[in-house]
Amino acid sequence: MAILNKEQAQQLLKKVLSYSKADECEINISGSEGGNIRYARNAVSTSGGVSQNSLVVSSAFGKKLGVATINEFDDASLEKVVRRSEELAQLAPENPEYVSFLGPQVYKESATYVPATGAIDPKFRADAVATSLKIAKDNKLVAAGFMQNSSGYSAMMNSHGLFAYNKSSNVDFNVTLRTEDGKGSGYASKGFNDVNKLDVASATKFAAGKATGSATAKALEPGKYTVILEPAASIVLLENMFFAMDARQADEGRSFLSKGDGKTKLGEKLVDDKVTIYSDPQHPEIPTSTWNGDGRPQEKINWINKGVIENLYYSRYWAEKKKVKAVPSPDGIIMEGTNASLEDLIKGTEKGILVTRLWYIRSVDPQTLLLTGLTRDGTFYIENGQIKFPVKNFRFNESPIIMLNNLDALGKPERCVSGESGISALIPPMRIRDFTFSSLSDAV
Amino acid sequence: MNRKDFLRNTAFGAGAFMIPRSMLHATPIEIQAALNGGMDVATKKILADVALAAAKAKGATYTDVRIGRYLNQFVVTRETRVQNVANTESFGVGIRVIANGSWGFASSNNVTKEGVAKTAERAVAVAKANAKILDAPVQLAPQKGYGEVSWKTPIEKNAFEVPVKEKVELLLAANAVAMKGGVNFVNSAILAVNEQKYFASSDGSYIDQDIHRMFPNFNLTKIDVATGKFESIKSLSSPVGMGYEYLNADPSEKLGGVVTRYKNRYDMMEDIANATEGVKQKIKAKSVEPGKYDLILDPSHLMLTIHESVAHPTELDRVLGYEANYAGTSFLSLEKLHSNKFNFGSKLVNIVADKLQYGSLGAVGYDDEGVGTKKWDIIKDGILVNFQAIRDQAHMLGMKESHGCCYAQSWNDVQFQRMPNVSLQPGKEKLSVDDMIKNVEKGIYIIGDGSFSIDQQRYNFQFGGQSFYEVKNGKIVGMLKDVAYQSNTQEFWNSCAAIADESDYRMGGAFNDGKGQPGQSNAVSHGSSTTRFNGVNVINTARKI
């Protein structure tokens, strides 16, 4: 089935809703089309097309909920899926945390769909890979990379009159270039709604520069260093903080935001006052859907304002229990910065280490958000405002909370993709004092 | 698109139950529907023959067809309530071909004669398109056809046939033990998996397999109200390649000691009672003094260290660079293998790959490219002797046949080289855990796996755990917390000083071993007996924020 426009989606959802006999009924539908291509050892390895559509019906009788899904859209199938969800609801145990579906909401238009991204075809992907491979070969480097794009829509409607629709497009490109002797490695990862913003050649050249530049690494002693984290490095630390900003976890006493006795650090200053983090579905650099999966509007909201924890996100059940606004978790994260470039940050550094990327991040202690992981794909020693030489990779043990307290300077935010979770964010390069490297790694 | 290695859920909002991503996109069904047999084997053979003929007619020189039905059931609870009961199904066909020397793959959920023929033709078209930018044609190790054969996980009780009510009652009864014992939060779940896979290839194989896996587990948290500190302990169960019989507690499958540990049968009620007491001790435990310690590692912990530091770097696709942009490469190389003297570990270290092992997650009769499964050495007396390879890689190792470790997480994903069960062999001399601890002056005995991280070439790693016991002058003297150890793979395995005998051998495992772009999950087990590593660097992970 093709991608439905707003009117087609509304018409289909109305039809499905007309079959409902439950106390409450809510229907979510989504569909997407796209493709991918993968390459390694300077040659294409796999490629494929992906197309999917699914319709989810949630029916409730009292506090008993049943959910059924289907990917066939003829009338008989649509009626069948509604009946099936109703049967499952009748069989389900009562859920004491069930909250009635939302009524009608007002949403702003989103800017998440770009027709040019929707028009990407297999030839476009193959040409992009050919461009990337040529740069690799011209620089005597070995490339492995991946490109995928998708465009699709999602819509929902319920028996209380709520209707929401969004159309979006996305393209991701990431590449690792290694020197032929395996002593240098570089990486670049880009993701956009708008393919016109994707410059495969520039990203590949960036990775090539890191690969060539990192090939003669020297070992430095592990310890505390001033570091400059490029956005691709800091996103994988900061996302672990965002993922842990759930109000219920904090209220229940099992989060870095818990204080004991049911109290939390909401409203307290937890990090340096240069730190302001927010989400905004309308931001031109990182547009996201203006509603979330249960129909709540996504609005501009501050999470950390000048170092103070200003908001946590809630499930509708927990917000109702706590009698607060049910702020949903965000889709895109934006951290404020300055106009300084990465080069400006390097120039202002007496002694320090430039980190291109961090990898294999895992939680060590959820109460302090202590994380461990390693540098990779270009780690460099800075002295008197200049990059002096590449250094061997380090393992670190550090908490993003401690790190944001040791924040020294920020640069200009740029859109980056987490190499760990795949989420996108707008994050500045940052200079941090006393970042803890705990051991050396031989990995390149 | 997430993620390398062990996959994890990354939705905003902590505390999500770990469910393999591949299982989240399947269709919910009623339990009765899960128990009907699905499409019969005769029909599958007819459809497979249609696909094989269609691909051949379009110019394929090799074709394999996988008709798969993937069933999952989740029963998830917290404290006194059921959070989720879900049955899901995914059914379709994946067809892989070689045409003009190149691989092509296509899949569809339209499993009819027309549907499979069209899918086969699409796969050939993809292969021919890829062939235009091909450097070297695929070299497939020869494989004899098996004719019509079948294999089934040797289960005693199909987990899908056990009523949901019985599962809910068990989980809520276990939760009640923990709550009564004074923990603040408890999450518990039973996950059941059934892969009904039909494979046919142009080599003349028609293989019908019925594969079962399950995983009962819990995680409990205790909060110290005075300090606001909290600690968690999770169950000592493992995900297993078994039926519901895994939950039939059996004294002969238990090992005593500082805490009861389990072999091929699990006692959830006993384990949660032990964990409830354990978490109370853990919250009061002494914070570890950093330094060098002899580590005594229980199989429930060591399985993850084996997974990360031995099983991953011996995957041939990583060694060759196919995963350079995602899962990473390896510190091992063909040169190190061919030298026949690469000293991976001490002489005690013998590591085998095994796709047949009873109760393991990786056990199947045939892999996803129609190769009968087997067992082979990876490390022999401390020396690297082999990697893990599939049909199109065998020639790179000078082998004439595949190791039989090809796998796809679903019908709509292309199969590729995936890790088999990789296990440390027990010590040959009679040695108990008590004997092993008796000689340790300053050590830590670690049970259960925790935080884990390793670099992209598998040199430098850091592991946490669940329960840490301080060993002083040959005796366990109490619990420790804030423990993690760091080492280098080759250095660590060369510090292996003692391995308990066969009577202590157990397996652990995971459903969510991740690799590939787009990412795929693989289920795999790792066995060992309790093992001692001397002089390992331990760090203290406590911080203040």
Q: Tell me the pLDDT tens digit for each residue of B473-498.
A: 999 999 999 999 999 999 999 999 99
Q: Kindly report, residue by residue over A225-246, the tens digit of the pLDDT.
A: 999 999 999 999 999 999 999 9
Tell me the chain B residues in contact with residue A88 when contact means C-beta distances shorter than 8 Å.
28, 30
- A257 and A339 co-located in one domain: yes
> How many angstroms away from the CA of A68 is the closest CA of chain B?
6
- A167 and A274 co-located in one domain: no
The arithmetic mean of pLDDT across residues B208-218, rounded, is: 98
> How many angstroms away from the CA of A352 is the closest CA of chain B?
22
For A260-325, the DSSP string reads ETTEE-TTSB-S-TT--EEE-TT-TTS---SB-TTSPBP--EEEEETTEE---B--HHHHHHHTS-
Share of chain B above pLDDT 70, in %: 94
Cα–Cα distance for residue pair A242/A226, rounded to 1 Å: 24
The arithmetic mean of pLDDT across residues B246-261, rounded, is: 97
Quote the ipTM score. 0.93
Boundaries of every domain in chain B: 5-218, 287-540
- A441 and A307 co-located in one domain: yes
The arithmetic mean of pLDDT across residues B63-92, rounded, is: 90
Q: Is residue A1 domain-resident?
A: no
Which pLDDT band holds residue B141 (cuts at 50, 70, 90)?
A: very high
Which pLDDT band holds residue B82 (cuts at 50, 70, 90)?
A: confident
- A277 and A379 co-located in one domain: yes
DSSP classification of residue A101: P
Which pLDDT band holds residue B4 (cuts at 50, 70, 90)?
A: very low
Q: Has residue B161 got a pLDDT over 70?
A: yes
A223 half-sphere exposure, CB direction, 13 A CA radius: 5
The arithmetic mean of pLDDT across residues A177-191, rounded, is: 97
Residue A316 burial (CB count, 10 A): 18
Predicted pLDDT of residue B133: 77
Q: Is residue A263 domain-resident?
A: yes
The arithmetic mean of pLDDT across residues B272-282, rounded, is: 97
- A177 and A262 co-located in one domain: no
Answer whether A393 touches B (CB < 8 Å): yes
Last residue in a domain, options A186, A212, A238: A212
Size of interface A-B (CB pairs under 8 A): 219
C-beta separation of B73 from B159 below 8 A: yes
Q: Kindly report, residue by residue over A48-82, the tens digit of the pLDDT.
A: 777 778 899 999 999 999 888 887 788 998 999 89
Q: Which of B30, B222, B455 to mutate to test the interface with A (most CBs of A within 10 A)?
A: B455
Alpha helices in A310-420 (DSSP H): 316-322, 342-347, 400-405
- A321 and A358 co-located in one domain: yes
Q: Has residue B11 got a pLDDT over 50?
A: no
Last residue in a domain, options A188, A212, A236: A212
- A397 and A251 co-located in one domain: yes
Predicted pLDDT of residue A45: 85
Q: Kindly report, residue by residue over B375-416, the tens digit of the pLDDT.
A: 999 999 999 999 999 999 999 999 999 999 999 999 999 999
* Domain extent at residue A366: 216-444
Answer whether B42 touches A (CB < 8 Å): no
Q: Is residue A428 domain-resident?
A: yes
Q: Do B541 and A71 touch (CB under 8 A)?
A: no
Which pLDDT band holds residue B353 (cuts at 50, 70, 90)?
A: very high
Residue B57 burial (CB count, 10 A): 12
Q: B542 or A45: whose pLDDT is higher? A: B542
C-beta separation of A47 from A37 below 8 A: yes
For B237-266, the DSSP string reads ---BBS-GGGGS--GGGEE-SSS-EESSS-
Which pLDDT band holds residue B15 (cuts at 50, 70, 90)?
A: very low
Answer whether B484 touches A (CB < 8 Å): yes
Share of chain A above pLDDT 70, in %: 100
Predicted pLDDT of residue B1: 27
> How many angstroms away from the CA of A363 is the closest CA of chain B?
6
Report the number of distinct structural domains present in chain A.
2
Predicted pLDDT of residue A47: 81
Cα–Cα distance for residue pair B472/A98, rounded to 1 Å: 52
Predicted pLDDT of residue B28: 62
Q: Is residue A438 domain-resident?
A: yes
- A224 and A322 co-located in one domain: yes
Q: What is the token pair recorded at A157?
A: 């409607």
Q: Has residue B6 got a pLDDT over 70?
A: no
| CATH number of the domain where residue A11 is located | 3.30.2290.10
Helix (H, G, I), strand (E, B) or coil at A341: coil
Q: Do A402 and B542 touch (CB under 8 A)?
A: no
Q: Do A443 and B5 touch (CB under 8 A)?
A: no
Predicted pLDDT of residue B30: 64
What mean pLDDT is reported for chain A? 95
Q: Kindly report, residue by residue over A122-142, the tens digit of the pLDDT.
A: 889 989 999 999 999 999 999
The arithmetic mean of pLDDT across residues A5-29, rounded, is: 97
C-beta separation of B245 from B362 below 8 A: no
Torsion of CA A403, A404, A410, A413, to 10 degrees: 100
Tell me the chain B residues in contact with residue A439 when contact means C-beta distances shorter than 8 Å.
460, 486, 537
Q: Which of these ranges, A18-32, B17-31, B514-528, has the smallest mean pLDDT? A: B17-31
Last residue in a domain, options A174, A195, A212: A212
Predicted pLDDT of residue B3: 33
C-beta separation of B268 from B170 below 8 A: yes
Q: What are phi and psi of B287, to 5 degrees?
A: -75, 135
Q: Has residue B276 got a pLDDT over 60?
A: yes
Q: Do B2 and A421 touch (CB under 8 A)?
A: yes
- A93 and A242 co-located in one domain: no
Q: Has residue A260 got a pLDDT over 70?
A: yes
Class at the top of the CATH hierarchy for domain B5-218: alpha beta
C-beta separation of B370 from B201 below 8 A: yes
- A225 and A328 co-located in one domain: yes
- A16 and A148 co-located in one domain: yes
pTM: 0.95
- A75 and A148 co-located in one domain: yes
Q: What is the token pair recorded at A318?
A: 């927990």
Q: Has residue B22 got a pLDDT over 50?
A: no
